Amino acid sequence: MTEEDKILEEVTGAEYKYGFTTDVESDTIPKGLNEDVIRLISKKKEEPQWLLEHRLKAFESWKKMEEPDCANIKYKNHPIIKISSTMLRPSRRKSSKVLTS
Total tally of structural domains belonging to the chain = 1
In a domain, 34, yes or no: yes
Task: Examine residue 30 and state whether it is found in any structural domain, yes or no.
Answer: yes
The per-residue pLDDT for 68 is: 72
Comparison of pLDDT for 1 and 96, the residue scoring more: 1
For 74, 75, 99, the CA distances from 70, given in Å and listed in that order, are: 11, 12, 22
Confidence at 81, pLDDT banded by 50, 70, 90: low
Instruction: Tell me if 55 sits within 8 A of 42, measured CB to CB.
Output: yes
Q: CA 28, 33, 35, 38: dihedral to nearest 10 degrees?
A: 50
Q: Domain span at residue 49? A: 26-101
Residue 10 in domain: no
- Within-domain flag for 99: yes
Q: What is the pLDDT of residues 3-62, one digit of tens each?
A: 888 888 888 888 877 888 777 777 777 777 889 989 998 998 899 999 999 999 999 998
Higher pLDDT pick, 92 / 60: 60
Residue 96 is assigned to a structural domain of this protein = yes
The dihedral built from the CA positions of residue 72, 12, 100 and 55, taken in this order, carries a sign that is: positive
Establish if 18 belongs to a structural domain: no
Contact 58, 37 (CB under 8 A): no
Please report whether residue 4 resides in a domain. no
Name the region of 58 (left: φ>0; alpha: ψ -120 to 50; beta: rest). Answer: alpha
In a domain, 8, yes or no: no
